[in-house]
Structures are given as C-alpha cells and as structure tokens.
Structure 1
Amino acid sequence: MQSGDGELSPVVAETEVRRADVGLRSERGPVLLSIMLGVGLVAIDSTILATAVPSIVRDLGGFAQFPWLFSIYLLTAAVSTPIFAKFSDIHGRKPVMLIGVALFVLGSILCGFAWNMTALIVFRGLQGLGAGAIQPTSMTIIGDLYSLAERAKVQGYVASVWAMSAVVGPTLGGVFSDFLTWRWIFFVNVPLGALAAWMLFRHFHEDVNRGRHTIDVAGAVLLTLASTMLIFGLLEGGVLWSWLSPWSIGVLGVGVLLLAAFVGVERKAAEPIVPGWVFRRRLLVGANLTNLAVGVMLIGLTSYVPLYVQDVLGTSALVAGSALAALTIGWPISASLSGRIYLKIGFRNTSLIGSVIAGAGAVLLILLNAGSSVWWVALTCFVIGLGMGLVASPTLVAAQSSVDWSSRGVVTGTSMFARSMGSAVGIAIFGAIANAAIGTQSHGSTSNGVPPAILEPALHQVFVAAALVAVLMLVAVAIMPRRAPGALA
C-alpha cells in the first residue's frame, strides 16, 4: 500500500511501525492459538446449546422461556461490542481480551450451576458480555500483529474455528446431554478459557499510551439502551406482540429516539465511543453496510436451511446440520485465499467477486424444491460460503488498514456490531415472511404442525428474500471507493 510518490501513506506507515513493535515482543504463534481458543469458546457455545435444549427444559422447566437463552446472548454480545472495542483502543487489547474471557468463563460456570430457567437466561447474558469483548478484540489483535498480506490467511484460520465448531458443537451437546449432563456443555468452557487467557497473558505484549483519557459514559449508556431497545424490538416483534401493536411501535420508537440522543452526545464527546468520522468515510460506510447484509444472510441461512432440509426434504437433524456445515467449510477456504486476491486486484474488486458468488448461491437456493437432494443443498451452501469468505474478510481488512492502532478497535467493533444488528434485522424480516406465508404468528418454530406442502413455499419466499439481500450486499460493496487513503480498495 503506497501513496502516489511510492511511499507508505502516513496511516499505513504508523500502523506498520506499531505492528513491527508489537510483533517483535509478542510470540505470534502462541498468541494466535490463544485467539483461536478464545474464538472457539464463542463458536462452540453458539452451536452446542441447541442440541441440549430438550434436556435443559426437562430438567429446569420453562419451555416458554427457552428462546431467550439465545436472544439474551445475542443482545448482550451486540450491545457490548462497540464499547469493548473502544476500550481496547484506550486501554489496550490485552486487558479487554482477558476481561472478555473471564466474563465468558464466569458466565459458563454460573450457567452450569443454574437452578432454574430464569437464572440460566441471566447467566447466558453474562456469557454474551464476554463474547462482546472477545470477538472484536481478537480480530483487532490480528490486525495489530499481522501484515496486510498475512491477515486474510490468518483470518481464514480463525474462520476455520467456526467451521469445526459447526460439527463439534452439536456432537458434544448430544454426547453431554445423553451420557453425562447438559451442565457439562458450559463446564467444558472453563479449561479452554483458562488456557486461552494464560497463553495470551504470557505471550502477548503491547505498548499502550497511558495518558489521561475521558471515558464517554453518557455515550456508552445511550448506545447500550438504544441498541437494547432496537434489538429487543426486532427479536420479539411478531413473538411477544404483533408488529403494529403499541408495544412494538413503542419499543422501536424509544430505541430510535435514544439512538438520536446518542448521535447528539457523540458529536460533543471528547473521546466518543463511535466517532462521527466512522459514518463519513465512504470506505467504512460501505464496509459496515456490507457487514449488515452479511449478518442478515447468515441468520437466514442458519435458521431456515436446516428447517428446509429436515421438514421439507424429510431428513434427520444430523443430515440437515451437515448440509449447512458446507457453508462453514467454504467460508474459511475462500477467506484464507482472499489475501492473494486483494493484493492483486484490491479489496473492493475482491468483495464484488465474492458478492456475485454468494448471490449465485442464493439463486441456487431459490431453485430448491421438494425433490432436491441434500447434496444439492450442501453444494448451494458451499457456494454461498465461498462468496461470503471473499466478502467478509477483505472488507474487514480494508477497514482496519484505513486507520492507525488507536482507532482499529473502534473500526473492528463497528463492523462486528453491524453484523450483529444484521442478524437481529434478519430474524425479524425472515420470521415475518415465513409466518405471513404460513398464516401463523409463531416465530422460530414455524414447522410445528405445518405440512411440507405449506412449509415449502413459505421457505421459498424466505430464500427469495435472501437473494435480494445478496443483491443489496453487492450494492453495499460497490459503495466502497476504488482506492482509499491508507488501504487498497
């Protein structure tokens, strides 16, 4: 990455100096392993719980409450991500990552000892806070330690953790539930978290400006409240209340008002949680909108492809999960290869290619019918995964490379927050489409009592919506400039 006169741009020059300094004093191999273990905590937890829900409900009761085991985790992880990301720019990555792992492990221990469903839900929220620190900080550390050419390959390694978790998580969940106790799905996080924390503490070293900083308390509180109301309204719309009910309008309306207040506070804050320039730079706007679309597509695929394979094609849950696993296989493959591509043709062009591939896979989803084979579904998911890997990794690297060390946490956290918001929006959109087509208000359980002849066209409409989101993702990528200061585009 060079400026017109052949020299490194100021942002990149400072970044490379900082990276060299951190890298020389840090043992990158053990640090990367600790990051992968930390991400593994989050990744396995997101897949291991689903298979244990029946056992948990039998033991603790609270069937009507169990969807909150997932909702509260998504909520707390999403709202805390930008706050922890900002703190990592102020206080350093190491303490924030260690705090995240500690919160996640503490939440896991408490979940393992939960005495009823309400307590389990509360402790899952604590786990979500830990995830909100681990996810953005881990990717920021990669940006600190690895060069532009290395970063995509390393992110491919991290993405492979999610791929393995898609297979290992459900298997472990079933084994613990059937042969031990569901409580072990939480206790297993303790040794993994302890090892990750110890390796990071021992091998990762960084220089942090210890000067006086002003903590944007008002901004943090407003962002937390605004995000909570918006995500809560999106998650529960059509579930606890109808979309046009006073409750729905009130919750979402308050969320919008709080968000407006947050914007006003941030304009005057000395060190805002989310600086205004994040929304004024074309590169970052395009990258964040792209991540929003990625979040929407991912939640649609992970929620409705297994449902289609199991209830429309008539297979087992294991086969349905295996078909979806093809998505998590294609993703790390293309993510690890994307570095070679964007160094030659730029971030924007690489992401455009990925968007086209993902869109082609979404079109293949639309072509599914009751006579389709599971192998065809798996191939479709694999193609979409290949496209996603060429979109998600280059856009994140582009965003990180456009700023220096002191802003990389904010940029990374904003990207991941956008993806979390995309997941919440996706749940709302796809759930509303499916429920409207089926003619029931059930959400997240649309297959209960619904014959395949009715379910198949409903899910077909969901897949059409996913294809439209792929088109919007292509538009979002196109917003990114061809060349941007401090980064290839």
Structure 2
Amino acid sequence: MTSDVGLRSARGRILLAMMVSMALIAIDATILATAVPSIVRDLGSFSSFPWLFSIYMLASAVTVPVYSKLADTIGRKPLLLIGITLFLLGSVLAGLAWSMPVLIIARTVQGLGAGAIAPMSMTVIGDIYTLEERARVQGYLASVWAIASVVGPTLGGLFAQFGFWRGIFWVNIPLGLAAAWLLVRNFHESIEKRRHRIDYAGAATLTGAMTLLMLGVLEGGHAWAWNSPASLLVLGLGAALLVAFVFIELRAAEPVIPLGLLRRRIVSSTTLLGLGVGMGLAGLTAFIPTYLEIGTGASPIVAGLALATFTIGWPLAAATAGRLYLRWGFRTTATLGGVIVVVGATVLAFLGHSPSIVSVAVVCFFIGMGFGYAAVPSLVAVQSSVDWNERGVVTGTNVFARSLGQALGAAVLGAIANAIIANLGGDVHDPHVMIAASTAVFAGVAVIAVGILASALAMPRKVELVGIAGESAVAN
C-alpha cells in the first residue's frame, strides 16, 4: 500500500467483508425468536425451546477462547472461513431438521461457527483502524445490526406466518457464501508463524462444565425435582469440572482463557459487563416475541418488529458511542449505558402484566440504546489497552463472556419461565400463563441490569492506550 487513498480502499474492502460476516449472526439474533411458536407446533416440546438459544450460545462461548488463541498465532482469516463454513453447515441441517433434538444439534453446529465469526470480525476491526477511526467504523457496523434488526424479525415473521419456518435457516446460505468470497478475495494477512499449543483439556473441561450446569438449570424442577439425586449429581459434576478448569488454566502453557489477564482491572470489569449484557440480551430476544404473540395476539411479524426496536436502539447508540467515549471517557459512557438499561428493564418488568405492543417497542428501543452505550466502549477500551499479539485474546475473552452470558441467561431465565408455566397448569398457549412467565423473566433482566451498571462503574477511569492499528492486515 503506497498511498492513503489505496490504504483506505483496501481497508474499506476488508470492512465490507467483516460487515457481511457479521450480518450472518446479526440476522440470526432476531430471526429465530419470532418463529418459536411455529417450531413448537411442528416439532413439539415447548420446554425444550430454551435449548435452541442456550446450546447455540454455549457452543459459541466455549469455542471463542480457542479461536482467539489461534487468531494470535495463525491469523484471523483462516478462522473466519472455518466459522462461516460451520455456520452454513449448521444452517443446512437446521433447515432439514425433523425433530427438536435434531434442530438443537443443528443449532450447536451453528454456534461452533458463530464462535469464530463474532470475535474474529471485531478483532480485525481493532487491527486495521486506530482508536479515533473506530468511532466512525462503529457506525458502519451499527448499520449491519440496524438492517438485520428489521430484516430478521420481518423474515422470521413471514416464514412463520406462512408455515415455512425452515426458511429462516435457508436465508443464511447466500449470505454466507458472499461473506466467504469477500474474505478470500480481499483480506490478506502477513503474520509471523510460530508454534502453538492448544489447551484442549481446558476447552473440553469448560465445555463439559457449562453443559452440565445448563442441563441442571434447565431441567431442574421439570425433568426432575431440584433436590433429587439426578439434579444434585448433574449440578455437582458441573461445579466440580468448573473448579478443575480453573486449575488446568493455571498450569496450561497457553490457556484458552489466560486467567492472568483477569488481574487487569480493565479486563475483569469489561468481562463482567459482557457477561451481564449477554444474559440480558438472551432474556429479551428469547421471550419478547412469544410474550407478545400469546399475550396480545400479535402476529409473528408484528411481534418481531416490536423486538426490532431493541436491535435498532443498540446500533444507533453504537454509532454515537465513539464520540462520547472520546470526549467523556470509556467508563463514563459505559456507565450511562448501564443506567439506561436499569431504568428500561425496570419499566419493562412493571409493564409486564399489561402487555402492549407499543409500550414494549418503546422500552426495548431505550434498553437497546443502553446496551449499545455499555458494550461498545467496554470492548474498544479493552482492545486499545493491548498490542496485536494479545488483541485476539482480550477480544475473545470479551466475546466469550457475552456468549456465555447469553447461554446462562437463556438457561436461567428459561428455567424460571418453565417453573412458572408448570405451576400455572402448563398451558403455554394460555395468555395469562405466558404473561406471568414473561414478567418474571423481565424482572430477572432488571436484576441483571444492576450488575451491568456495577461492572461499568468498576472500569478504571483512565485506560492506557497501547499498539498501532494495521500491524498485520493488508489487502490487494
């Protein structure tokens, strides 16, 4: 690259590739929730539907640290292509699913792909743009989520309304192929190859621990009593594996989650914030469409569009967050986001017993803005605090926390909803029952929002900026 114009053009093409890659998971974030009632009618087992979200997020979360470690050793591009391939494979299997277990397996494969796409896309942006430029680039990334927030629920609602929910997975095929082509054509890396040791023991132990803990939470009080031997065994094994994971990471040469990083205040605080954002996100995206469809009789399209205001508010906040954190600082901007989320989630919980499409849409818009102001500054802050060779790991840790939060949020809040539904007779098509269950979920989101605010306040007031953007990625 010999000129500023050429450099801008090269980075522009890479940015486009990242935007299309992110579009895959952005659309997936809202398109499925609108079709849940239709899927349950065809495949049955409403009590299993939280697994469609939890298993996807779990598969995504536990692979993020592995992908992130590899990204700092073999580069970002190969992992992005692997992620897109897995995501498309899972989409094909989901489109052909003939039972709920098969659909859950397909969602697992999709999650394995998403675990590479999300952190790698964000890491590449951190590689090729400076701190000041990222404030502008956030607007471009925000446009992906803004478009997806409308396209996703609309497509999901249309497919569900016309009895073809499988179409929500088939739409991924052309988008994924386009993303892969753009990456192969435009993104070229120059990195120093070095030997690496993958912490397979840590990854396997973490996967086992989180699977067992989510199984215990989702099935406890439903498939077995909370105080039954089965419940105690599953939860106990999960907790034991989690403890074992910590010891493995402390001794691993190249741990999937470098626990030493968490000693840095900027890393630990933003990781906790990401965990809270993921949990809150899971509760809203998984339950709001079904809450409105059953509670108000809204069509899948209308329910989806009400949720879309949330995913419009987020990118709008992301687009302006850069200006705020450059002027006020990362901590202040993230704290503003936390305050907005607390207020919005509390209002949503109070309004839960009186479902209204308009009120839900308005509140979701403001909650989305709060998430945007909280999540973007925290991610940029932690990326800007390290050099290239650690950027993949810290970005992956942040994305891992968010994905893990979504998995835990779907599991815990889903368990709360299932328990209330069971206590009220088990009829998931009864408006009273679904309103009561959803209101409890919204109250849980309000509690989680307090944790998000506390994490934002725990961020350091000043962040030491390290590294120069563009060290490793060039384009032809």
Above 0.5 in TM-score? Answer: yes
User: For residues 409 and 333 of structure 2, what CA distance do their matches in structure 1 show?
Assistant: 25
Q: Is the 8 A contact 1:99 1:133 kept in 2?
A: yes
Q: Secondary structure at the match of 1:212?
A: coil
Q: Secondary structure at the match of 2:195?
A: coil
Q: Deviation at 1:277?
A: 1.8
Q: Relative to structure 2, which stretch is displaced further, 346-355 or 166-175?
A: 166-175
Deviation per residue, 1:151-189 (Å, 9 max, x gap): 244234334323332332243345456769554433332
Q: Relative to structure 2, which stretch is displaced further, 127-136 or 111-120?
A: 111-120
Q: Is the 8 A contact 2:205 2:244 kept in 1?
A: yes
Q: Which among 207, 210, 216 is matched to residue 224 of structure 1?
A: 207
Q: Relative to structure 2, which stretch is displaced further, 93-102 or 367-376?
A: 367-376
Residues 400 and 254 from structure 1, CA distance in 2 versus in 1: closer, same or farther, beyond 3 angstroms? Answer: same
User: For residues 97 and 332 of structure 1, what CA distance do their matches in structure 2 show?
Assistant: 23
- Map of 2:359 onto structure 1: 376
Q: Which among 184, 187, 191 is matched to residue 204 of structure 1?
A: 187
Q: Deviation at 1:449?
A: 5.0
User: For residues 229 and 65 of structure 1, what CA distance do their matches in structure 2 show?
Assistant: 15
Unaligned runs of 5+ in 2: 467-476
Q: Which among 270, 273, 278 is matched to residue 295 of structure 1?
A: 278
Using CA pairs below 8 Å that are at least 6 residues apart, which structure has the higher relative contact order? 2
Q: Secondary structure at the match of 2:188?
A: coil
User: For residues 414 and 228 of structure 1, what CA distance do their matches in structure 2 show?
Assistant: 19
- Map of 2:121 onto structure 1: 138
Q: Deviation at 1:439?
A: 5.8
User: For residues 221 and 297 of structure 1, what CA distance do their matches in structure 2 show?
Assistant: 26
Q: Relative to structure 2, which stretch is displaced further, 391-400 or 353-362?
A: 353-362
Q: Which among 448, 451, 456 is matched to residue 428 of structure 2?
A: 448
Q: Relative to structure 2, which stretch is displaced further, 387-396 or 467-476?
A: 467-476
Q: Which among 155, 173, 176 is matched to residue 190 of structure 1?
A: 173
Residues 50 and 483 from structure 1, CA distance in 2 versus in 1: closer, same or farther, beyond 3 angstroms? Answer: closer
- Map of 1:324 onto structure 2: 307
Residues 243 and 178 from structure 1, CA distance in 2 versus in 1: closer, same or farther, beyond 3 angstroms? Answer: same
Q: Deviation at 1:205?
A: 2.1
Residues 234 and 39 from structure 1, CA distance in 2 versus in 1: closer, same or farther, beyond 3 angstroms? Answer: farther
Q: Which among 365, 371, 388 is matched to residue 405 of structure 1?
A: 388
- Map of 1:10 onto structure 2: none
Q: Secondary structure at the match of 1:421?
A: helix
Q: Deviation at 1:244?
A: 3.2
- Map of 1:126 onto structure 2: 109
Q: Relative to structure 2, which stretch is displaced further, 74-83 or 458-467?
A: 458-467
| AA in 2 matched with 1:204 | F
Q: Secondary structure at the match of 1:484?
A: coil
User: For residues 268 and 146 of structure 1, what CA distance do their matches in structure 2 show?
Assistant: 35
| AA in 2 matched with 1:481 | P
Q: Is the 8 A contact 1:78 1:420 kept in 2?
A: yes
- Map of 2:457 onto structure 1: 478
Q: Secondary structure at the match of 1:254?
A: helix
- Map of 1:171 onto structure 2: 154
| AA in 2 matched with 1:448 | V
- Map of 2:255 onto structure 1: 272
- Map of 1:74 onto structure 2: 57
| AA in 1 matched with 2:253 | A
Q: Deviation at 1:82?
A: 1.6
- Map of 1:234 onto structure 2: 217
Q: Is the 8 A contact 1:153 1:335 kept in 2?
A: no
User: For residues 225 and 256 of structure 1, what CA distance do their matches in structure 2 show?
Assistant: 10
Alignment of 1:38 with 2:18, yes or no, is no
Deviation per residue, 1:341-400 (Å, 9 max, x gap): 111111001111111122221232244265575323222111111111110000011111
- Map of 2:143 onto structure 1: 160
Q: Which among 321, 344, 353 is matched to residue 336 of structure 2?
A: 353
Residues 319 and 113 from structure 1, CA distance in 2 versus in 1: closer, same or farther, beyond 3 angstroms? Answer: closer
Query: When the two structures are superposed, what TM-score results if normalisation uses the length of structure 2?
Result: 0.87
Deviation per residue, 1:389-419 (Å, 9 max, x gap): 1100000111111111111111111112212
Residues 483 and 251 from structure 1, CA distance in 2 versus in 1: closer, same or farther, beyond 3 angstroms? Answer: same
Q: Is the 8 A contact 2:279 2:408 kept in 1?
A: yes
| AA in 1 matched with 2:365 | F
| AA in 1 matched with 2:72 | D
- Map of 2:325 onto structure 1: 342
User: For residues 38 and 348 of structure 2, what CA distance do their matches in structure 1 show?
Assistant: 33
Q: Secondary structure at the match of 1:37?
A: helix
Equivalent runs, 1:434-445 vs 2, <5 Å: 434-435=417-418, 440=423
Residues 42 and 361 from structure 1, CA distance in 2 versus in 1: closer, same or farther, beyond 3 angstroms? Answer: same
Please provide the CA RMSD for this pair: 3.2
- Map of 1:215 onto structure 2: 198
Query: When the two structures are superposed, what TM-score results if normalisation uses the length of structure 1?
Result: 0.84
Residues 465 and 52 from structure 1, CA distance in 2 versus in 1: closer, same or farther, beyond 3 angstroms? Answer: closer
Q: Relative to structure 2, which stretch is displaced further, 249-258 or 313-322?
A: 313-322
- Map of 1:106 onto structure 2: 89
| AA in 1 matched with 2:392 | G
Q: Is the 8 A contact 2:217 2:415 kept in 1?
A: no
Q: Is the 8 A contact 1:26 1:205 kept in 2?
A: no
Q: Is the 8 A contact 2:413 2:441 kept in 1?
A: yes
- Map of 2:444 onto structure 1: 465
User: For residues 420 and 348 of structure 1, what CA distance do their matches in structure 2 show?
Assistant: 22
Q: Deviation at 1:285?
A: 0.8
Aligned residues: 464
User: For residues 263 and 26 of structure 1, what CA distance do their matches in structure 2 show?
Assistant: 45
Q: Relative to structure 2, which stretch is displaced further, 417-426 or 371-380?
A: 371-380
Equivalent runs, 1:232-271 vs 2, <5 Å: 232-271=215-254
- Map of 1:393 onto structure 2: 376
Residues 29 and 256 from structure 1, CA distance in 2 versus in 1: closer, same or farther, beyond 3 angstroms? Answer: same
Q: Is the 8 A contact 2:153 2:308 kept in 1?
A: no
User: For residues 318 and 66 of structure 1, what CA distance do their matches in structure 2 show?
Assistant: 19
User: For residues 60 and 458 of structure 1, what CA distance do their matches in structure 2 show?
Assistant: 22
User: For residues 423 and 397 of structure 2, what CA distance do their matches in structure 1 show?
Assistant: 36
Unaligned runs of 5+ in 1: 1-19
Residues 160 and 181 from structure 1, CA distance in 2 versus in 1: closer, same or farther, beyond 3 angstroms? Answer: same
Q: Secondary structure at the match of 2:351?
A: coil
- State the identity %: 54
